[in-house]
Amino acid sequence: MNIVVIGTGYVGLVSGLGYAKLGHRVACVDVDVAKIAALDLGEVPFYEPGLRDLLREMQEQGRIVFTTDLYSVADGAEIFLIAVGTPPTAFGEVDLRAVFHVADDIGKCLDHEAIVAIKSTVPVGTNRKVLDCVREKMIAIGRENVSRCIQVASVPEFLSEGKALEDFFAPHRIVIGAENYTTHDVMGRLHAGLPGTRICTTLENAELIKYAANAFLATKISFINEMACIAERVGADIQTVAHAIGLDPRIGPSFLKAGIGYGGSCFPKDVSALHQLAGLNGYDFKLLGAVIEVNNHQRDWFLRKIENRLGSVRGRKIAAWGLAFKGGTDDIRESAALDIIQRLCARGAEISVYDPFAMTRAHGLLSDDIVFAPTAMDAAEGADALVVLTDWQEFRDVSFSTLRERMVNPLIFDGRNLLADMHLSGLGFQYEGVGTSG
């Protein structure tokens, strides 16, 4: 099939390359000239394991092209896949301007039967509005007849950063929302060759499934984070508790890692959007309100832990390991790590930070007073305390006896319980995890 993917962020680029690998001919479009130029040269503008190799493989086989000009690739395209960003506005609503801008452009250049499919996470009802927008544009330029042949599909993406390709090629389910059998069938053929249960359903169901999935996972995280607070108070260990409850298949082991809370480009935005969607429809989704509140509280709680132990952090040298919102990515959007570093800095701490992949992205965003160290060990040199903020495997691999010598005060606050099983107190460290004594 001939498909056009609009938007080359995590979702768009991974999907475009994934569909190319499945045997389709793909054109990726983005307004960002520099990004398209880099992709054209085989360079991926963000860190995602395996993506660069797949990009080069698909380019060599001539299965993918990159352009800023939608018109140049619209001819003969069967599916236009919208994968542009839907960031939150200052009021926590979903900013759909990019989606409708693209819908406008598609309407202007579309002169043949095609499906407009939306992968961006959008509030319920958006797919229908996008279809209306495309059709209106077509009618305005005299293509009323063809406009009736345009269909819309909702194909939410469930990939997570750091293992995006793995998730694309081994999905748990493929959700296809559409209004008729033919569209379900075409979208089904687009995904031929992929495992995973097919859910062919309505547009509204598909839109809501995506929000429900993210909101449920975020709820698990906030639940375990509150349990961690209780565990600390009663002298229990949250990791043992999480492991034990996770063995029950009705609960499951994933998303039960206690820590400084969830971040990233999806959970914070999608949980808030669903909360708002409920409100706009006259329903107060109390549980989600609490999920958001607990998530914000985790950061305050972690900061209080540090201050309780150190007294004031003013003038204290604190090493921070991690900037990304989780290990395996250089993405710092809504990163709890970044927020905690900024707040420590605002309270007068002298911060030295290290992250294996996210330093370049964080540079312009953090205060000039913050030192970016070349290694994790360098960041900890002379530190009064070390805070672990992102779960990078690399942090487990340092020599802790050397670390002990380099730090002035062998105090570790582990916001991810990454080092909890390493028996660091035996090496002379004072270790504080989240809901665990390590």
- The answer to the question of residue 28 lying near ligand UDX (CB under 6 A) is no
> Mapping DSSP to helix (H, G, I), strand (E, B) and coil, where does residue 426 land?
helix
Contacts of 128 (CB under 8 A, 6+ apart): 152, 203
Residue 377: its H or E element: helix 376-380
Tokens of 347: 């309270």
At closest approach, how far in Å is the CB of 164 from ligand UDX?
8
Distance (Å, whole) CA 370 – CA 329: 21
Pairing state of beta strands 197-201 and 25-29? unpaired
Distance (Å, whole) CA 282 – CA 16: 38
CB of 158 or CB of 400, closer to ligand UDX: 158
CB of 18 or CB of 107, closer to ligand UDX: 18
- The answer to the question of residue 160 lying near ligand UDX (CB under 6 A) is yes
Q: Compute, in degrees rounded to 10, the torsion defined by CA atoms 214, 215, 221, 227.
A: -160
- The answer to the question of residue 438 lying near ligand UDX (CB under 6 A) is no
Tokens of 266: 């999806």
- The answer to the question of residue 214 lying near ligand UDX (CB under 6 A) is yes
Q: Which stretch binds ligand UDX (CB under 6 A): 155-163, 183-191, 303-311, 371-379?
A: 155-163
What residues are paired with 326 via a beta bridge?
Answer: none
**One residue of 18, 259, 433, 435 binding ligand UDX per CB under 6 A:** 259
- Per-residue contact flags (x/-) with ligand UDX for residues 161 to 200, judged by CB under 6 A: x---------------------------------------
- The answer to the question of residue 257 lying near ligand UDX (CB under 6 A) is yes
Exactly one of 28, 109, 266, 345 is catalytic; name it. Answer: 266
At closest approach, how far in Å is the CB of 88 from ligand UDX?
14
Which residues are documented as binding site for substrate?
A: 158-161, 210, 255-259, 263, 326
Distance (Å, whole) CA 292 – CA 294: 6
Identify the sign of the CA torsion 210, 15, 197, 327: negative
Q: Look up 109 and say whether it is catalytic.
A: no
Distance (Å, whole) CA 411 – CA 432: 8
CB of 175 or CB of 385, closer to ligand UDX: 175
- The answer to the question of residue 107 lying near ligand UDX (CB under 6 A) is no
What is the CA 226 to chain-centroid distance, rounded?
23
Distance (Å, whole) CA 128 – CA 289: 28
What is the CA 406 to chain-centroid distance, rounded?
34
- The answer to the question of residue 274 lying near ligand UDX (CB under 6 A) is no
- The answer to the question of residue 266 lying near ligand UDX (CB under 6 A) is yes
- The answer to the question of residue 223 lying near ligand UDX (CB under 6 A) is no
Which residues are documented as binding site?
A: 30, 35, 86, 121, 158-161, 210, 255-259, 263, 269, 326, 333
At closest approach, how far in Å is the CB of 295 from ligand UDX?
9
At closest approach, how far in Å is the CB of 266 from ligand UDX?
3
E strands present in 263-384: 317-321, 350-354, 371-372
- The answer to the question of residue 262 lying near ligand UDX (CB under 6 A) is yes
At closest approach, how far in Å is the CB of 65 from ligand UDX?
26
- The answer to the question of residue 83 lying near ligand UDX (CB under 6 A) is no
**One residue of 131, 159, 273, 345 binding ligand UDX per CB under 6 A:** 159
**One residue of 168, 302, 325, 413 binding ligand UDX per CB under 6 A:** 325
What is the CA 265 to chain-centroid distance, rounded?
4
| CA-closest candidate to residue 332, choices 302, 361, 374 | 361
**One residue of 267, 302, 392, 395 binding ligand UDX per CB under 6 A:** 267
At closest approach, how far in Å is the CB of 96 from ligand UDX?
18
Which residue's entry shows tokens 């911060």? Answer: 351
Q: Which stretch binds ligand UDX (CB under 6 A): 126-134, 228-236, 264-272, 362-370?
A: 264-272
| Residue 62 zone, left/alpha/beta (φ > 0; ψ -120 to 50; rest) | left
Contact 408, 382 (CB under 8 A): yes
Residues within window 40-79 making contact with ligand UDX, judged by CB under 6 A: none
> Mapping DSSP to helix (H, G, I), strand (E, B) and coil, where does residue 238 land?
helix
Tokens of 197: 């249960």
Tokens of 85: 């960003």
Q: Which stretch binds ligand UDX (CB under 6 A): 47-55, 74-82, 257-265, 379-387?
A: 257-265
At closest approach, how far in Å is the CB of 134 from ligand UDX?
25
Identify the sign of the CA torsion 200, 206, 208, 210: positive
At closest approach, how far in Å is the CB of 55 from ligand UDX?
19
Using CB under 6 A, list all residues that contact ligand UDX. 157-161, 214, 217, 221, 255-257, 259, 262-264, 266-267, 325-326
Active site residues: 266
